[in-house]
Structure 1
Amino acid sequence: MAVELYGEEPVFTAVLDELFDLLGAEGAALRWDWLSTEPLVPLEDASRAQPLLFAVGYALGRTLIARGVVPTALLGHSIGELAAAALAGVFDLPHAARILACRSRVLADVPAGGLLAVAARPEALTPYLTGEVVIGAYNAPAQTVLAGPAGPLAEVAARLTGAGLVHQRVAARQPFHSPAVAEAATRFEAGFTAADLRPPSIPVYSTRTGSPVTADEAVSPEFWAGQLAAPVLFRSALDSLLDGGARTLVDLGPRGLSLLALRHSRVRRGGHRVLSALPTTATATLSTWTALLASLG
């Protein structure tokens, strides 16, 4: 994931080195594993993969801005929303490192669970919702993510299979965006209380509310920490972004958001450009990045 840009793009490299250093021993180990020839940071290991997703997305954003490609608005999914907030200046990089470390600590105590992406509209999944299994993300018109503890989620998966509904496990060992992580979200507030939170300098569209983050929300530790347990309203946030006049969408993650955006009928039919900074295969990173820069002029 973007390894080929490390050492080639000076800003990208410097930002990542700064963040890895701020993360201390964990950051040093993460950098070593990320740069290794074998994939040593599995996506389902949230304590390691999510700080890396933040780091790469944030560094790519800083690199584009340094090249004169300044976004008119930002939108992130789950951990990506924190990267968007950092890019918008809600908190600085040293505080981002503390926030990431706190997030990893509180998630370590969350019971095993997971996420299940289902090719269905939310209303079609009502019969499968329980007190423990809930909708964790509203991603696209017919792509909904269920979240819950391991046992109940497995039972729901079996029922979905029996009903002929297509579904797939998401790479996660915790039931993000569900009541099962509510206590962790409360403890996560501590990661933000010491941060100098500021209103965003670039509009950030929140997947917690589906609207731009307000000045009051931006300086609220509970607002950012609560995102951990709240459902991801990605479809609503994308609608709001498009209502704001966005025409070109640039995905700074591993192709996830660009694929979700392309499932949105307004994006497909409205002549919007959806570009990806990263390819689906590691070997094409440099060519994909070069093509992106050329497309953005």
Structure 2
Amino acid sequence: MTKMEAPRQGFANALIKLGKEHKDLVVLDADCAKSNMTNLFKAEYPERFFNIGISECDIVGTGAGMAVAGKVPFVNAYANFLTGRAFDQMRISVCYSDKNVKICGHNAGTSAAQEGATHLPLEDISLMRSLPNMTVIVPADSLEMEKAVEAAYNFEGPVYLRVGKLPVPVVTKPEDKFEIGKAIKYRDGSDVTLISTGIMLDETFKAAEELAKQGVEAEVLHIHTIKPIDKEAILASATKTGKVVTVEEHSIIGGLGSAVAEVLAENHPVPLRRIGTNDRFGVSGKMDELLDLFELRAARIIKTANELVGAKVNN
């Protein structure tokens, strides 16, 4: 049985490990330490934990100041408020100034399901991707999250890290190499390329397996770094298969689908279909219910891939 674990658990594990090794690492939280699991870091290193309160603009500005002082700040708040309210501070104090600040957007995507539409960010990747100098990372599970946190610490410059709250299947492996800006090819294929990011890797794996049973060989690329995106890997796969489907737990406007479309349009146009949320807000419910509502499931990936390759769709 596939292990289920919240990405925020991997995030907390990595912070504690890195905190022991690196005395310059500091953690700031916007009064949601228990939810973000930064309280575990606080328990180990209380002198390097700072609760700034429910003040997203302040927490980003304070993080930028700490970076000037030689610290490596991990700034934590709910993704909807952090990317929305503090956009100006991230734009000027962090990105324009190119400060070494790690922006950690928690409760992201459908993991905020039961908190309702206002708390459910489906546009955070788009906002962060638009900022010059910002690196955008969207891990698939708790294991990859640990690797992403370490990579973010070692990377010099602004980083946005998308952190999910609720348990999801752990589908990556300890031996999988994590490198910022480099895609991971999990499956070779010749008929269609499936490009996923974040927690949609699990559904993409399921879709590829079912497609193979139907005689459709799907290549699977996992893009954990939306910016800078791995153009070389995308173009190599698209050139081979001639058809691409992107899959993301985010709006198709400005996210993975848009990034891949830009790469293909400018370099090697091929038929492309984007799977994600379609220009809409979320609603309140359970995470699985929202994934069903948004049709972020293997069945939709299979149907879309079959339509592209011209195969008969199995109902």
Normalised by the length of structure 2, the TM-score is 0.28
Structure number with higher strand proportion: 2
TM-score, scaled to structure 1: 0.30
Name the structure where helix makes up a greater proportion of residues.
1
